[in-house]
Amino acid sequence: MSLRGDGPIEELSIPSGTTVEEHDVVVDGDVLVGGQSTVELGVRGRNVAIGERVSVGDDIEAEGDCRLDTWCSVDGNVLVGEDAYLGERVTVTGRLMVSGDLDIGDDVTIEEGFEANGWIVIRNPVPTIVFYFIVLSQLLRVGETDAADELAEALADGDDVRDPLLVPRSAEISDDAWRVSTPATVGDDCRLHGNLRAASIRVGERNEVFGSLRAREDVTVGADTVIHGDVTTRGGTVTVERGARVLGDVSAGDLVVYDGAEIQGTLRARGEMKLIQETEAEEEPEEAEEDEAAEEVEEVEADEPEETGSEEADGTEEADGTDETEEADEREVDTEETEAEEAGEHEAEEADEAADGDEPEGDDGERADDPDSGGDATESETAAVTADAGAAVDAAESEDES
């Protein structure tokens, strides 16, 4: 598949970390440029693939492979770290330097000569992407899946996969403007020169664009991005996120501005204009959830020693309750013994009174309330005293009769 026609490139995609240095576009990944495009800047990337009838206005530097389709023109040098593939009627005004193999077609013009360290094949090559797909399909058809996987990994340069710079068909890229008829997406941490014109534009975070943004549809300016120009859309919505700065005017159908954004120019909106203020709960919901989870853990950890203490306290209370119960039982036993002793003393006093009523007034009788008895006589002792008193009475009566 060559890069002619509409092709698979459906938007202008600028990967994160892309910068424009002097007159070159510098990216870490690959560069794919659709057919019929004009690139007035130089191109520096890992692998560079240029479509049919593309004009490049400066040098091309590729760390890996470089592929130039038919009728391409390069106004400068072409430096290739690995292999180079040039289609028929390609024109290079400078010098071609290839570290690997060189495969070129008919009527190729290299004004300052070329140098290749590997094999040099002069023929009309099949477009390399088409060739790779043909090889892959043949390998899969005969069941050589391992070889197909190895070829696919080689095309992807192993596991080190980076987002490419995609330029759609009929694009115009220069230091003055980037014009495409498709949507445009800019990644994060980019530094670009020129006005950006597209169907719709989305700019990521922490970018700096030295130019204006204009689109037919929606335009989004990411957080902490600085736009040195105007932001305009015909009927779409312009969204300026928190921390973004627009050093110009903003004109849109609907306008959405987040709290913390800065717009130095005027604001124009034919439809609605919204100012969104984010709360702390909305900004950091995950942190709030983590804090709540940490608080719950702390509460659980704090409850565990309290429960142990409560159990110890309960055990102490149970022990105290047991001691109190034993003391109460002892008090009840003491009370019962005291009552029994008092009852015994009362019965002993009644028996003594009865004995005193029966015995005569004499010195020989013994009284139950004698101090020698101690006042603590039991029932048996009371009965013995009563018996002794009766015997004394009988003895006295016998003496009187004699």
pLDDT for residue 261 = 94
Q: List pLDDT tens digits, range 31-53.
A: 999 999 999 999 999 999 999 99
Tell me the C-alpha distance between 99 and 64, whole Å.
10
Tell me the C-alpha distance between 87 and 316, whole Å.
96
Radius of gyration from C-alpha coordinates of the chain: 55
From residue 120, give the alpha-carbon distance in Å to each of 35, 76, 80, 117, 212. Answer: 26, 21, 14, 9, 46
pLDDT for residue 299 = 53
Tell me the C-alpha distance between 204 and 185, whole Å.
8
List CB contacts of 175: < 8 A, sequence separation 6 or more: 20, 23, 40, 41, 193, 194
More confident call, 92 vs 289:
92
pLDDT for residue 135 = 78
121-125: average pLDDT:
69
Tell me the C-alpha distance between 148 and 151, whole Å.
5
Give the position of tokens 């040195």: 228
What is the signed CA dihedral for 257, 259, 264, 265, rounded to 10 degrees?
A: 20
List CB contacts of 92: < 8 A, sequence separation 6 or more: 73, 74, 76, 77, 78, 108, 109, 110, 111
Backbone angles phi and psi of 252, in degrees to 5: -155, 170
Tell me the C-alpha distance between 290 and 125, whole Å.
60
Residues belonging to the chain: 402
224-231: average pLDDT:
96
Instruction: For the chain, give the percent of residues with pLDDT over 70.
Output: 62
pLDDT for residue 125 = 54
Which pLDDT band, with edges at 50, 70 and 90, does 149 fall under? confident
Q: Which of 21-25, 62-66, 237-241 has the lowest mean pLDDT?
A: 21-25
Query: Rounded to the nearest 10 degrees, what angle do helices 285-358 and 379-401 cross at?
Result: 10
* pTM for the model: 0.62
From residue 63, give the alpha-carbon distance in Å to each of 23, 32, 140, 149. Answer: 18, 14, 30, 23
List CB contacts of 258: < 8 A, sequence separation 6 or more: 239, 240, 241, 242, 244, 275, 276, 277, 278
Amino acid at 272: E
Reported as type and span, the H/E element at residue 232 is: strand 231-233
Q: List pLDDT tens digits, range 249-287.
A: 999 999 999 999 999 999 999 999 999 987 755 555 555
Residues 85-114: b if buried by 16+ CB within 10 A, e if exposed:
bbbeebbbebbbbbbbbbbbbeebebeeeb
pLDDT for residue 21 = 81
Contact, 15 vs 162, CB < 8 A? yes
